[in-house]
Each structure stands twice: as C-alpha cells, then as structure tokens.
Amino acid sequence: MKLLLIGEYREKKLLDVTYDLVGFANKFNGEKIMLAIGYESDLPKFDGKLYLADAKEVGEYNPNVHKKIILDVIEKEKPDIVVFIHSSFGWDLAPRVATSLNAAQFTEVVGYKDNNFVVPSCNSKLRRDLSAKSDITIVTIQAGAFTPLEEPTGTPIVENIKANSSSSLEFLGYEEAEAKGLDLTKAEIIVTAGRGIGKKDNVSIIQDLATKLGGQLGASRPVADNQWLDQSHQVGTTGQTVSPKLYIACGVSGAIQHLAGMKKSEFIVAINTDKDAPITEVADILVVADVLQFVPALTNKL
C-alpha cells in the first residue's frame, strides 16, 4: 500500500493539519510519500520522500497548476491512495484530480475500519463505510479526525519539482475574515453549553458556572444554530479550536466535529445523562447527571 499525502501551506507557513495526513497514513502499513506546493524554509517534520514545488514560483494555490503537479507525481509514484485535508484547498483540488483519473473519491473521511473509509452522513447522525473499486482512491480527511497525539518528528528527503503547465488563473492572496465576537482561543477555562441544556433560557445556568470559574462560555453547533448563543461561542471544526486548561462540556454529546475543536484541552469534564456519550472518549471526568440539576448545585458549592 502506497499513500501520497498532499501537504498544505498558507501564507508561507506549513499548516499543522498537514500532520493529520500522517495520522491518517499511520493506519496503513506501507510507504508514505508527501507532496507539497510550499517553501523550503518551513518543511514538514516527516520521515520519507517529499516532493516540493516552490510556491514562490507557482503560487500557493492555483487549481490548474496544482492539479497538474499532483497528477505528474501520481504518474511517477503510482500511489494507491491520495490524501488531502478536507479544507477549501483539498475540497477544490481532490475532485479535479479524481475526475482526471476516473478514480473513486471519498469526501471528509473520519475513520478507516475493516478496509473501509468511514464517512459521516445525515448531519453526522449516521456513518457510511465505503470501499473503492478503482485502482487509485482519492480521499479528503476531516481536520481533527486523525490528529496524531505525539509531536511530529523526522526530516524529509526533498525532491524539488517544477510545474510544467501554466494557467489562465492567477492567485492574488488571502483576505482575512473580519474578526468579530469572542476569542475563545486564549481562554484558560471554558464552560460549554450543548443541546442537552434543552432551551435558550437555560444558557444562564451555564453562564453562571463560567462566571463563577472566571471562564468563558462556549457552545456546540446546535446551540449556535438555534441562536441560544451567538456563533462566536461555537467550538469545533466550523467554530473555534481551543485548548484551555479546563473544559467543561455540559450536555454535549461529543460529535467528532466538536471534539476536533476541544480535544487538546488539558482537563476535560463532561456532564451528561448518557454514560456512553462519545464525549467520554476524551473526558478526564464524566459526571452522569442532569446538567440542569448538577450545574446550579456546583455553582452554589463554588
């Protein structure tokens, strides 16, 4: 089994999610090769061959040129699986590569089990196990689903490559989204309200605990979607990625998209009526209780 991992750079920096590709590849026995359109000044820590195209020459993103670079390396290396991050870069490039090769593509993979790619469906309520019939499979993986726990190490063997195609498109740069609302990334304590709090009126119960602890208030996505709290409180893949000293999840089930945003917290307390909720995978302490009873009692005690 040979895997080709497509690393990702933004504004001259290697993105940490590149190591999620390695975490995914570690599920397979076999050779791992990386390809990046990036910069010699910030190489990934990776033991293996790295094909590097200079982003100063070809730009950080140009779908036509990048696709051709990737296809050239695929032709040379003949990998079994080509792996992208499920980012705006990956979800644009992966289908271009897959259609060029007439290959199967699996999108936003969150697991690999019994030789099948696991893909969420129905708003993550269900999971599908998929396998490919084509010789080569293209996948995008969900950020956070395969993040290695250990620090990355290694020095790649770099092979510089040139782009041998041009494009009618020009990459102009990134425009930062306007910063608004709350910055949870620097909070040392976060108390998060999940759908288990039942209704908007109960947010104050969670807010009282956060205030008592001198922490910030977080929200799972349904809480933000239902406008019980502003979206700027949302933690997870489509919210903020946080790593406080203490994270208290109140009525949060622990869906993978939520875990991706908070699993690096130093100490995690989960309060949930369901002792088997997936949040138990990352929680240091699970309190099996009704949040509406337990949280006010805890706040009073404090």
Contacting residues toward ligand FAD, per CB under 6 A: 123-124, 194-196, 220-223, 234-239, 251-253, 255, 257-258, 261, 271-274, 277, 290-292
For residue 125, the minimal CB distance to ligand FAD (Å) is: 8
CA 255 to chain centre: 13
* Least Å from the CB of residue 23 to ligand FAD: 19
Instruction: Name the minimum Å distance from CB 17 to ligand FAD.
Output: 15
Contact yes or no for 154/47 (Cβ under 8 A): yes
**Token pair listed for 44:** 């990934």
Using Cβ positions, the residue closest to ligand FAD within the complex turns out to be 236
How far is residue 221's CA from residue 3's CA, in Å, rounded to a whole number? 33
Q: Can you spell out the DSSP letters for 199-233? A: SGGGHHHHHHHHHHTT-EEEE-HHHHHTTSS-GGG
- What is the nearest approach in angstroms of ligand FAD to the Cβ of residue 293? 8
Taking the complex as a whole, the smallest distance from the CB of residue 121 to ligand FAD amounts, in Å, to 9
DSSP letter (8 states) at residue 240:
B
Give one DSSP letter per residue of 107-173, joined into a string: EEE-EEETTEEEEEETTTTEEEEE---SSSEEEEE-TTSS--SSPP----EEEEE------S-----
Per the listing, tokens 């590097």 go with 52
Cα dihedral 242, 244, 248, 253, rounded to 10, equals: 30
Q: Which of 216, 257 has the CB closer to ligand FAD? A: 257
In the bound state with ligand FAD, the residue whose beta carbon lies nearer, of 133 and 275, is: 275
As measured in angstroms, the least distance from the Cβ of 204 to ligand FAD is 15
